[in-house]
Copies of this chain bind each other. A is one copy, B any other.
Amino acid sequence: MTDPQTPAQTVDPEEQAFLAAYDPGVFPRPSVATDVVVLTVREGRLVVALYQRAEHPHRGRWALPGGFVRMDEALSTAARRLLRDKVGVQGVFLEQLYTFGDPGRDPRMRIITVAYLALVPPARLQVEKGALAAVEVDWAGEAGGPARAIGPDGAALPIAFDHADILGLAVQRLRGKLRYSPVAYAMLPPRFTLRALQSVHEAILGEALSKPAFRRRLLATGELRATGELESDVDHRPAELYEHAPQEEDAS
């Protein structure tokens, strides 16, 4: 099709890409960042860690913890670094969520952000410089859409950039994963009651669940181990404490 003798001015995009690859000056490059949606469940509600921006743009608005990816670190390493330095948690569930890269999503310049989802047990999330905001969505099931963040005083917090979309996608993804993946345990302490586990599921799904069906289904997964111990500090009959016993994946 194409004349192989065509000189350097060819418009073949493959060749353009090849040349650009060896001469970084040919194409300008975007900045690459990562933002982390850190979620936990408190008092039956899904909550997210947000930080109020001290500088323009979007000064005063609330943003997800984020920062630029360094040239020598993997994307997940950058997310883990931010999680440790900005949020103060380590060793938690972390999974890539989606990459947001519309031109103009940041008014300063082209910033492509690889969003990550982190799930943390409530006791391990002590946000000092930021806030824990309750997450609410306008949609049911897995319809999807932006989310709102409700501050401790009950008022909606103004969200910076496209972070309301990122947060909404995190909720949508979490609801989807709940059906076939043991993600809820990542938001619980090592020992927990079945009621606490159900409460996590209900907070994620945004709807009440039937107790008998929930217990049957979860116990049938074989991923729960009864400890024989009971919870304390309750003014009614205490529930038994369970542990998460992950299934062995036999890949032989």
Interface residues of A (CB under 8 A from B): 1, 13-14, 16-18, 20-22, 24, 27-33, 55, 66-75, 81-82, 85-86, 96, 98-99, 101-103, 108-112, 114, 128-129, 139, 142-143, 180, 249, 251
A70 CA to B101 CA, complexed, in Å: 11
Having A13-B85, A74-B103, one finds 8 other A-B pairs with CB under 8 Å, namely A13-B81, A13-B86, A17-B68, A30-B69, A71-B103, A74-B102, A75-B101, A101-B114
Q: Is the CB of A29 within 8 A of B29?
A: yes
A226 CA to B114 CA, complexed, in Å: 43
Q: Is the CB of A27 within 8 A of B74?
A: no
Q: Nearest CB to that of A66 among chain B residues? A: B17
Q: Nearest CB to that of A81 among chain B residues? A: B13
Partner of A29 from the list B16, B32, B81 (CB cut-off 8 Å) is B32
A108 CA to B129 CA, complexed, in Å: 40
Q: Is the CB of B29 within 8 A of A109?
A: no
- Assess A18 versus B75: contact at CB under 8 Å? Given A1-B128, A30-B69: no
- Assess A21 versus B108: contact at CB under 8 Å? Given A29-B30, A99-B114: yes
Which residues from B are CB-within-8-Å of A101? 32, 69, 74-75, 114
A102 CA to B1 CA, complexed, in Å: 36
How many copies of the shown chain assemble into the complex? 2
Q: Is the CB of B68 within 8 A of A20?
A: yes
- Assess A22 versus B103: contact at CB under 8 Å? Given A30-B29, A68-B27: no
Q: Is the CB of A27 within 8 A of B103?
A: no
Q: Is the CB of B31 within 8 A of A21?
A: yes
Which residues from B are CB-within-8-Å of A55? 18
- Assess A99 versus B71: contact at CB under 8 Å? Given A29-B30, A30-B32, A32-B30: no
Q: Is the CB of B103 within 8 A of A17?
A: no
Q: Is the CB of B27 within 8 A of A70?
A: yes
A237 CA to B54 CA, complexed, in Å: 72
Which residues from B are CB-within-8-Å of A73? 103
